[in-house]
Amino acid sequence: MSDAQLPRAALISSDSTFVTQVKQLLTGPERPVSLDLELTVPLYQFGEQQVQTLRTLGPELIILDLEESQDLGLQLAQYLVELNPAQLFIATGPVLSSEQLMQAMRAGVSDYLPKPVAPEDLRAAATRCAQKLRRPADEKQREPGRILSFFSPKGGGGSTTLATNLAVAIHRTSRMKTLLVDLDLELGESALMLGVQPRFNFVDFVENFRRMDASLLASYIEHHPSGVHLLSAPSQPEKAEGITADQIRRILVFLRQHYDYIIIDTPRSFSPTTLAVFEQADLVFMVSTADIPSSATFNGESRG
């Protein structure tokens, strides 16, 4: 594979021994990534100049040394991943507790390798990241999936029933990959309607979205016997309070790349997250009933 085809990598470390080790590993003919940038300034001196250098190169993988300061390193990782959510991180440093490892994962770290790092472990981690960054040819050619959303101004209007049955019908008739997303994060009942008990839910998906790829996506999805996939609402609604409209937009863009049809059951109010779904949707189905509360809401007399 030519240099142009290899994922670009950057190294952030002031440890000269580790820098030499990484350079030896990632400059040979069998290297999994191309090491295009080395930033050897201490973490406490890392500033706008170094960030701008990273932004100019746009590396897909960053190897980050946390030995000087775990806190500064994780803050840097979190900042960089907010600038480019598609970036992957391999971090190294002292042995971490389980709580510290969870913190690193939340900051966007894909692999953590305690020092001293064995060359084979570093190569394996870089290879795993390279495989995630290289999308299969058929995935590159996939047309973005269509998003169909269902909205009802009040509970009991039938939008969940319609969304669920449409998802099943689309998959049965077309055999295309179909995902049902329950975004009624307070009172979602899609899992109950399909008769499945989800291991994970939409909130779990959001919390791990920074390191999401096709293989990790599969672990958050429930498979219904009909062939439909489900991303369910949480069983504890309070966990969804921090989800933003921008997160919804990014997630829907990601899901379009992996499914032919995404059917969404939205909340029962014109919230920012609901409006974000409407922005992204190819079709929005407004489900109403012949009563005053439904018609009043659609006429703009109620936004509750």
Q: Are 262 and 255 in contact (CB under 8 A)?
A: yes
Predicted confidence band of residue 293 (pLDDT cuts 50, 70, 90): low
For the chain, list the domains and their CATH numbers.
Answer: 8-134 (3.40.50.2300), 139-298 (3.40.50.300)
Amino acid found at 166: L
pLDDT value of position 155: 66
Average pLDDT of the segment spanning 257-277: 89
For 55-68, the pLDDT digits (tens) are 888 888 999 999 99
Amino acid found at 119: P
pLDDT value of position 301: 45
Average pLDDT of the segment spanning 37-58: 90
Average pLDDT of the segment spanning 64-74: 92
Residue 189 predicted with pLDDT over 60:
yes
For 88-129, the pLDDT digits (tens) are 899 999 988 888 888 888 777 888 999 999 989 999 999 988
Residue 304 predicted with pLDDT over 60:
no
Comparing 40-54, 64-78, 126-140, 279-293, which segment has the lowest mean pLDDT? 126-140
- Segment (H or E) for 73: helix 70-83
pLDDT value of position 292: 56
Residue 299 predicted with pLDDT over 60:
no
Q: How many CB atoms lie within 10 A of CB 166?
A: 18
For 162-172, the pLDDT digits (tens) are 999 999 999 98
Residues 6+ apart with CB under 8 A from 130: 6, 7, 32, 33, 61
